[in-house]
């Protein structure tokens, strides 16, 4: 047992349903580590929401969601000739492929006529997509394919509504079809939806799955603890502890994505000095851990191990073996070992991953950092 995600499934589903009901054209995105929940679970939730299309990140992920999803699947990473899985999916009637280069569009027309495609238009992100100047050259090619629309992937900041409007308008002048968008605020999405005169779709990952942070918390378990005195050497790297206290062994390590964050470059000398006084172990190697013990985040003794981490608790010690302690995580970079339903409400639907109900009282005030994409 290492990291546990306690999920108030009923409250989380309320949140998912409310996002879905105010987002016509919602396309849930299930990719990577499944935003901490795993791809199959997200596919099941998308099924519950009753949406038409599920997005996955890469071609290989299609197989992972297939058992739990029977609608259309759009693959977000543009097709490439060097990817045999993506190539096979061009002939799959349930899959919509993204195309991001003019040459690729020509290849697909030649080798997989009729394939279902969305064409990506390059935005200021400069990730994938045809340049707006290339768009007029796709009109003829689209007639040989099943054109499912234009896709526009916007940055998180900046005048995204203007950019989306400008790119969508040039694209629609070439061929009419649905416009698939991401990273627009609900208001901007509504605005564009009203203006464009075509069907619009909004892809949501983080805001959908990881909204409503109060519905979940992640905990680790105290595996062991040992009293140490000032000057004792501890850990693989035999750092000396600077004060009396406890070395606490907590579950979760590099295999779970528990990472040591280096002291920020911006930390002032005073902050660094304070960190040492507050129980930092080594003035150069110390780093604040994501584990909260006895009410506050504690320093790592040394970098996390594969499946456990050593954390220093100064003073008399106020934790016990078996305690569940809060861990601050970005669920997009963490692998939890189990998900436990902590709903207070009875729910008769199937819950394949739930086990017994943990005590959800005494819930720590957990800060949720901005999630990573
Ligand atoms: C990942 C991704 C999304 C979803 O991003 P979030 O920030 O998690 O909502 C949408 N569109 C594309 C093309 C993506 O790659």
Q: What is the pLDDT along the chain (373 residues), one digit of tens a residue?
A: 689 999 999 999 999 999 999 999 999 999 999 999 999 999 999 999 999 999 999 999 999 999 999 999 999 999 999 999 999 999 999 999 999 999 999 999 999 999 999 999 999 999 999 999 999 999 999 999 999 999 999 999 999 999 999 999 999 999 999 999 999 999 999 999 999 999 999 999 999 999 999 999 999 999 999 999 999 999 999 999 989 999 999 999 999 998 875 444 455 566 555 544 444 334 445 788 999 999 999 999 999 999 999 999 999 878 999 999 999 988 988 899 999 999 866 544 444 343 333 333 333 333 333 333 4
Instruction: Verify that 307 and 330 share a domain, yes or no.
Output: yes
CA–CA dist 287, 270 (Å, integer): 15
Distance from residue 211's CA to the centre of ligand 1 (Å): 14
Q: Does residue 320 lie within any of the structural domains?
A: yes
CA–CA dist 149, 176 (Å, integer): 8
CA–CA dist 168, 202 (Å, integer): 13
Q: Does residue 308 lie within any of the structural domains?
A: yes
- Ligand 1 near 76 CB (within 6 A): yes
CATH number at residue 224: 2.40.37
Instruction: Verify that 106 and 224 share a domain, yes or no.
Output: no
Instruction: Verify that 182 and 313 share a domain, yes or no.
Output: no
Instruction: Verify that 94 and 231 share a domain, yes or no.
Output: no
- Ligand 1 near 204 CB (within 6 A): yes
CATH number at residue 86: 3.20.20.10
What number does the ligand 1 atom closest to the CA of 203 have?
10
Structural domain boundaries, residue 198: 8-209
Q: Does residue 2 lie within any of the structural domains?
A: no
Instruction: Verify that 124 and 89 share a domain, yes or no.
Output: yes
pLDDT at 319: 95
Of 177, 192, 209, the domain-final residue = 209
DSSP 8-state symbol, 243 = S
- Ligand 1 near 121 CB (within 6 A): no
Helix axes 39-49, 9-22, angle to 10 degrees: 60
Instruction: Verify that 19 and 166 share a domain, yes or no.
Output: yes
pLDDT at 318: 87
Of 163, 187, 209, the domain-final residue = 209
Instruction: Verify that 22 and 43 share a domain, yes or no.
Output: yes
Instruction: Verify that 23 and 133 share a domain, yes or no.
Output: yes
Distance from residue 183's CA to the centre of ligand 1 (Å): 8
pLDDT at 174: 97
Q: Is 235 helix (H, G, I), strand (E, B) or coil?
A: coil
Number of domains in the chain: 2
Of 150, 176, 209, the domain-final residue = 209
Instruction: Verify that 194 and 222 share a domain, yes or no.
Output: no
Task: Give exposure, 302-316, as e/b (b: 16+ Cβ within 10 Å).
Answer: bbbbebbbbbbbbee
The first and second tokens of residue 3, run together, are 């990291």
Instruction: Verify that 225 and 186 share a domain, yes or no.
Output: no
For ligand 1, mutation pick of 203, 204, 210, 331 (most atoms within 8 Å of CB): 203
- Ligand 1 near 41 CB (within 6 A): no
- Ligand 1 near 206 CB (within 6 A): yes
Distance from residue 65's CA to the centre of ligand 1 (Å): 17
Q: Is 181 helix (H, G, I), strand (E, B) or coil?
A: strand
């Amino acid at each position: 047992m290492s990291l546990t995600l306690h999920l108030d499934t009923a409250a989380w589903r309320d949140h998912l349903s409310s996002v879905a009901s105010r987002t016509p054209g919602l396309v849930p995105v299930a990719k990577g580590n499944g935003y901490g929940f795993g791809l199959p679970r997200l596919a099941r939730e998308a099924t519950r929401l009753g949406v038409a299309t599920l997005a996955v990140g890469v071609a290989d992920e299609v197989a992972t969601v297939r058992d739990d999803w029977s609608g259309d699947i759009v693959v977000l990473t543009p097709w490439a000739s060097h990817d045999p899985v993506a190539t096979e999916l061009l002939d799959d009637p349930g899959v919509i492929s993204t195309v991001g280069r003019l040459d690729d569009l020509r290849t697909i027309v030649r080798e997989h006529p009729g394939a279902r495609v969305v064409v990506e238009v390059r935005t200021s992100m400069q990730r994938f997509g045809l340049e707006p100047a290339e768009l007029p050259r796709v009109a003829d090619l689209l007639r040989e394919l099943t054109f499912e629309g234009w896709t526009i992937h916007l940055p998180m900041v900046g005048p995204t509504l203007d950019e989306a409007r400008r790119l969508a308008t040039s694209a629609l002048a070439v061929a009419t079809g649905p416009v698939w968008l991401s990273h627009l605020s609900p208001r901007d999405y509504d605005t564009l939806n009203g203006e464009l005169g075509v069907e619009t779709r909004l892809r949501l990952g983080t805001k959908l799955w990881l909204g409503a942070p109060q519905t979940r918390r992640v905990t680790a378990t105290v595996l062991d603890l040992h009293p140490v005195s000032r000057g004792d050497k501890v850990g693989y790297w035999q750092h000396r502890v600077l004060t009396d206290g406890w070395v606490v062994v907590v579950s979760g390590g590099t295999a779970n994505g528990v990472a040591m964050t280096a002291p920020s470059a911006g930390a002032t000398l005073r902050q660094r000095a304070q960190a040492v006084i507050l129980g930092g172990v080594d003035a150069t190697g110390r780093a604040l851990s994501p584990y909260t013990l006895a009410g506050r985040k504690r320093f790592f003794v040394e970098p996390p191990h594969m499946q456990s981490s050593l954390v220093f608790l100064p003073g008399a010690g106020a934790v016990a073996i078996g305690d569940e302690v809060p861990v601050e995580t970005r669920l997009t970079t963490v692998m939890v070992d189990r998900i436990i339903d902590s709903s207070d409400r009875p729910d008769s639907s199937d819950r394949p991953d739930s086990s017994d109900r943990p005590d959800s009282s005494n819930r720590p005030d957990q800060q949720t950092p901005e999630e990573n994409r």
